[in-house]
């Protein structure tokens, strides 16, 4: 009689506990912002993209990176809550947008203090995810990043792409 071959499953179970991958650092690459041409925003034009090469790289320990990320998320949350509070005040002053108000038009984000925000009520981890940006904010980000000329034709191209995807789906091979 021929002895039975050892099971592959038993062997893999025995090896599992021995080797583990551990990370000690995080490397973050920073890229200049450019007008995209490789992504399609859900509405409007002026897609956001990045330069082909990074201009800076930084290394962090895992704990440093986790702390920086938490601080960054808190700042984004604070800005989001500030914009929401500003919209609410403008709505109040214009009676839900039905009556024009010079006071409402003059309000800016600087008029909303940190004391007005309920940052403690929101769990940062529950809130933070990438959110779509309105076209005006995307254009402002591009200009603030030094983009001199924003291609206006991109708006029509993006609209055509969105319509095409709704009608027949995307058939692009590498990039869309």
pLDDT digits (tens, 9 = 90+) for 36-57: 877 888 888 888 888 899 999 9
Look at residue 22 and tell me if it is in a domain: no
What's the pLDDT band for 155 if we cut at 50, 70, 90? confident
Residue 5 has pLDDT above 70, yes or no: no
Look at residue 88 and tell me if it is in a domain: yes
Look at residue 21 and tell me if it is in a domain: no
pTM to 2 decimal places: 0.59
Report the number of distinct structural domains present in the chain. 1
pLDDT of residue 77: 81
Answer for the pair 107, 82: CB distance below 8 angstroms, yes or no.
no
d(CA 57, CA 167): 42
Look at residue 18 and tell me if it is in a domain: no
Look at residue 9 and tell me if it is in a domain: no
d(CA 40, CA 164): 12
Answer for the pair 46, 35: CB distance below 8 angstroms, yes or no.
yes
Residue 157 has pLDDT above 70, yes or no: yes
* Overall average pLDDT of the 100-128 stretch: 72
Look at residue 12 and tell me if it is in a domain: no
Look at residue 171 and tell me if it is in a domain: no
Look at residue 126 and tell me if it is in a domain: yes
Structural domain range at position 92: 27-165
């Amino acid at each position: 009689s021929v002895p039975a071959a050892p099971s592959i499953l038993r062997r893999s179970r025995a090896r599992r506990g021995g080797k583990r991958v551990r990370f000690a650092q995080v490397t973050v690459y920073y890229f200049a912002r450019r007008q995209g041409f490789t992504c399609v925003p859900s509405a409007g034009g002026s897609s956001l993209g990045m330069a082909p090469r990074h201009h800076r790289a930084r290394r962090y320990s895992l704990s440093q990176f986790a702390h920086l990320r938490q601080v960054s998320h808190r700042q984004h949350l604070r800005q989001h809550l500030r914009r929401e509070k500003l919209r609410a005040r403008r709505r109040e002053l214009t009676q839900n947008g039905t009556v024009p108000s010079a006071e409402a038009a003059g309000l800016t984000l600087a008029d909303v203090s940190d004391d007005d925000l309920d940052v403690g009520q929101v769990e940062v981890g529950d809130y933070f995810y990438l959110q779509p940006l309105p076209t005006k904010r995307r254009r402002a980000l591009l200009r603030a990043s030094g983009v001199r000329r924003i291609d206006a034709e991109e708006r029509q191209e993006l609209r055509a792409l969105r319509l095409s995807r709704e009608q027949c789906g995307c058939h692009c091979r590498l990039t869309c």
